[in-house]
Structure 1
Amino acid sequence: MARIVVVGAGIGGVPAAYELKARLGKGHEVTLVNASDYFQFVPSNPWVAVGTRTRDAITVPLRPHLEKKGIAFVAQAVTAVQPERNTLQLLDGSALEYDYLVLTTGPRLAFEEVPGAGPVDGHTHSICTTDHAERAHAAYQEFLHNPGPVIVGAMPGASCFGPAYEFAFILDADLRRRKLRHKVPITFVTSEPYIGHLGLGGVGDSKSMLESEFRNHDIKWVTNAKTTRVEPGLLHTTELYGLGNPLRDHELPFRYAMMLPAFKGVDAVAGVEGLCNPRGFVLIDEHQRSRAYRNIFAAGVCVAIPPVEVTPVATGAPKTGYMIETMVTAIVDNIAADLEGKEAKAKGTWNAICLADMGDSGAAFVALPQLPPRNVNWFRKGKWVHLAKVAFEKYFLHKVKAGTSEPIYEKYILKALGILRLEGSQLKGEKSEVR
């Protein structure tokens, strides 16, 4: 009997545990380890921050649903990974042994890279976790009594830009509903070289479309923004150009700010020699397997993916839901193959599919593959995207509660976008070498 341990209970980790158990059956032991005892649907955090969702609506207690499927659950933070011993050290001092380890930890939020950033020790808010989104909502309620300038955006080194755009538009829509928008100048401050870059080099007409939406919603912007520090009510950023030369300095006042941080690998994983790159992201081969430790696999945000291109201010490449789903499925297939004495053949994909809410509308993009040049560059907006994201939220939460392992993107999202015909060679194509 093999012991398979999955670390991290997010959009990658929970489906990984369900898929592994469904594939391997009772003959093998699957354990999910997570610092908290609940699943949080992170894509809904922008809604939590403005009060259109509550914590209870987007979180699911894990233990009862996992145990129904015969999956063991450990609600403990991992303090160290010891691959030479095939052991995890847990926060309470106990150890957990494994034969195969699947890392789906998500990122560590590197607020410390910009002095004064962050919701705990700094002056900016975040929507990267439900705890942060709740804190952002509490501050937003106070802000509504004394509205003023708002800053939304992403710090240098950020790789997940979609939620910042979502939050800017959702905030704009909420303020308009409250008849307060005229009192709130909004500035979008981003490390991207242009609006709509998204860490992907743009997708289709994303640049002109999102710039047009910003103009229509009276949202100003600063791109190539190297934010250097945040003081109470004042954000300092330098706008760069060319190869990174300073163009102008900005001192932007705010009464409310939400800035996404750069990501790094979590400490317990980043500290393992040979496992990660200098930022702490796991180095994998084309089969999602660690290059240094052949019984360790990784999927999702914790995986090392090179930037799409060199930009004046550092930007990273995002890991979207469809990409994570295919990574997880490849891991399950490859562990099953290894247990049967066969070679690993399954590969994930670096195709990007994303639904982004815009308050009372939405935007969807498809980049096949994620790294240009692409076979498909597709970007659309409309009310239907908002409705599609709501449906996606409800279905994924149902999936977590029901313990189903069906691939949601292939079954529903692609069909909803009207591009299911791309499911062949383009959607399941080879991915580039990880650097």
Structure 2
Amino acid sequence: MAHIIIVGSGLGGMTMAFEMRADARPGDRITVVSNNPKFHFVPSNPWVAVDWRKREDIEVEVGPVLEKRNIDFIPVGVKRLHPERNQLELDDGRFLDYDFLILSTGPKLAFDEIEGFGPQGHTQSICHVDHAVTAEKSWQDFVADPGPIVAGAVQGASCFGPAYEFTMIMETDLRRRKIRDQVPMTFVTAEPYIGHLGLGGVGDSKGLMESMFRSKHIKAICNAKVSKVEAGQMFVTEHDDEGKPKKEHVLPFKYSMLLPAFKGIDAVFGIEGLTNPRGFVLIDQYQRNPKYPNVYAIGVCVAIPPVEVTPVPTGTPKTGYMIESMVTATSKNVRAALDGREPTEKATWNAICLADFGHGGAAFVALPQIPPRNVNWFGEGKWVHVAKIGFEKYFMHKIKKGSSETFYEKFILDAMGIMKLKGK
């Protein structure tokens, strides 16, 4: 019987474990390895950062959930992967042998690429629940003594939706506190225009988001590179359409949250044939690494080229729906390999996103994510807020009961269709 190791216990890793358990043979051993003993629902981090949720609302202990499904769990980080000998080296000195390895590590957050950037510097983050908790403490200090806000996503970032989401959530929270008039807001982004989203725009995302920013009095600087951050001020270079420096900005702030660029984690970084220069895992159409075909990868750690070349570098987002489709394809293909068959399953590279804005929200569907598309739709309304809350509850329920059911696409598309028809 085979030993299948899954690295990571996030959205992709947990879903992967449940589906692999359902598809594997009864005698196959499945082990999840993670440096975090708890799963947390990343899409809820913006709510935690303004105290609309507590971290305990979005966290689940991983070990007991996996144990119920006959899945082993090792809460220790991976120091280094040794694919040439089918081994993982753990932070505690142990070595684990595997027959199949599935990487669902998420990214390394590249705060170190910009001086003074990130939670160890002068800006906040919502990429991890630990960051969101720290951001919430700073938020409480900020609302007691408000001033300018700078939010957005830096050069090389690939996950733009949460930057818009958190910006609008902050704006909503400030209005509820009746102090919005005391807070100038500036959105700084590597995108060539507002609503690009790393996808070349979706539907009328550009027009709708630009209109929303105007109505909410949020200024924007696009084609932006952040050169450094100091206490209370950010140094930003705005570029023209050819990528040449156009204008220098020194932006004062009392609170700032900018999303970083991503890299591959140290455990796989620089392994020839496994990763690209940024450390993302190279895969074929069946989620397998071409050099090491018993190594698979899913989620944010996968190497995906940009949708298009932009004046300032931007990456391509990997949404939950895309990750879930990667999980299903990988599970089926590993089972095929266990049975001595060739893989046939391919992930559907589609992008679907719900972004809550506090009272309303925005949603997009890009099928597929790389144009030309069969579906290219962007919309907004109160129904998105309702759908996002519902999805959080459904997904937390799925994790707690260890369900292998894949419902991401069905839930979101049903929510979009039904709620939009009802005018919510």
Residue 191 of structure 2 corresponds to residue 195 of structure 1? no
Q: In the aligned structure 2, how far is the partner of 1:360 from the partner of 1:331? A: 37
Residue 26 of structure 1, CA deviation? 2.5
Offset of residue 238 of structure 1: 0.6
What's the offset of the Cα at 1:416? 2.0
Shift of 1:417: 2.0
Equivalent position of 1:422 in the other structure: none
* CA deviations over 1:229-285 (Å, ceiling 9, x no partner): 101100001100122111111000000000100000001011322100000000100
Q: Secondary structure at the match of 2:267?
A: helix
In 1, Cα distance between the equivalents of 2:139 and 2:397? 29
Quick one: distance in 1 between partners of 2:97 and 2:68?
23
Query: Which secondary structure does the structure 1 equivalent of 2:65 belong to?
Result: helix
Partner of 1:247: 246
Amino acid at match of 1:104: S
CA positional deviation for 1:336: 0.4
What whole-Å deviation, never above 9, does each CA across 1:333-374 have from its counterpart, x for those lacking one?
A: 000001111110000121100011111101110001101111
Counterparts of 1:207-222 in structure 2, within 5 Å, are 207-222=206-221
Paired residue type of 1:265: G
Instruction: Tell me if 1:70 matches 2:70.
Output: yes
1:84 aligned partner: 84
Aligned to 2:421: none
Correspondence 1:117 to 2:87 = no
Counterpart in 2 of 1:34? 34
Please say if 1:101 is aligned against 2:101.
Answer: yes
Q: How does 1:368-387 map to 2 (within 5 A)?
A: 368-387=367-386
CA–CA separation in structure 1 for the residues paired with 2:321 and 2:173: 29
Q: Corresponding residue for 1:53? A: 53
Q: Give the Cα–Cα distance (whole angstroms) in 2 for the partners of residues 117 and 206 of structure 1.
A: 28
- 1:418 positional shift: 2.5
Tell me, in whole angstroms, the C-alpha distance in 1 between the residues paired with 2:247 and 2:232: 20
CA distance in 1, matches of 2:365, 2:409: 13
- Secondary structure of the structure 1 residue equivalent to 2:112: helix
Measure how far apart 1:25 and its partner are. 4.3
The aligned amino acid for 1:406 is: E
- Provide the C-alpha distance between the structure 1 equivalents of 2:410 and 2:176, rounded to a whole number of angstroms: 35
Q: How does 1:166-185 map to 2 (within 5 A)?
A: 166-185=165-184
- Aligned equivalent of 1:319: 318
Q: CA deviation at 1:147?
A: 0.4
Amino acid at match of 1:379: F
Letter in 2 for 1:218: H
Distance in 2 (alpha carbons) for counterparts of 1:320 and 1:275:
23
- Report deviation, 1:43: 0.5
**What aligned pairs does 1:8-23 form with structure 2 within 5 A after superposition?**
8-23=8-23
Partner of 2:273: 274
1:259 aligns with 258
Which structure 1 residue ranges, 5 or more long, are not aligned? 420-435
One-letter identity of the residue aligned with 1:246: P
Residue-by-residue CA offset, 1:116-169 (whole Å, 9 max, x unaligned): 10101x101100000000010001111111100000000100000000000000
TM-score, normalised on structure 1? 0.95
Give the partner amino acid of 1:20.
Answer: M
Q: 2:164 is aligned with what amino acid?
A: Y
Distance across 1 between alignment mates of 2:152 and 2:400: 33
Other structure's SS at 1:148 match: coil
**1:139-158 matches, cutoff 5 A:** 139-158=138-157
Distance (whole Å) between structure 2 residues aligned to residue 41 and residue 172 of structure 1: 23
Distance 1:25 1:338, change over 3 A: closer
Match of 2:422 in 1: none
- Rounded to whole Å, the distance in 2 between the matches of 1:272 and 1:398 is 37
Contact 2:39 2:61 in 1 (8 A): yes
Supply the AA of the counterpart residue of 1:8: G
Structure 1: how far apart are the matches of 2:167 and 2:333? 40
Compute the TM-score of the two structures, normalised by the length of structure 2. Answer: 0.97
Answer whether contact 2:270 2:277 (CA < 8 A) is retained.
no
Identity value in percent? 61
Q: Give CA-to-partner distance per residue, 1:32-63, whole Å, 9 cap, x none.
A: 11101000110000001000011100010011
Deviations 1:150-194 (A, max 9, x none): 000001000000000000000000000001101011100000000
- How far did residue 410 of structure 1 move? 3.2
Distance 2:191 2:176 in 1: 30
Amino acid at match of 1:209: L
The answer on 1:6 being equivalent to 2:14 is no
Alignment of 1:340 with 2:339, yes or no, is yes
Secondary structure class of the residue paired with 2:335:
helix
Take 2:23 and 2:110, find their aligned partners in 1: how far apart are those partners? 36
Separation of aligned partners in 2, 1:81 and 1:4 = 14
SS of the equivalent of 1:414 reads: helix
Amino acid at match of 1:215: R
Q: Across the two proteins, how many residue pairs are aligned to each other?
A: 418
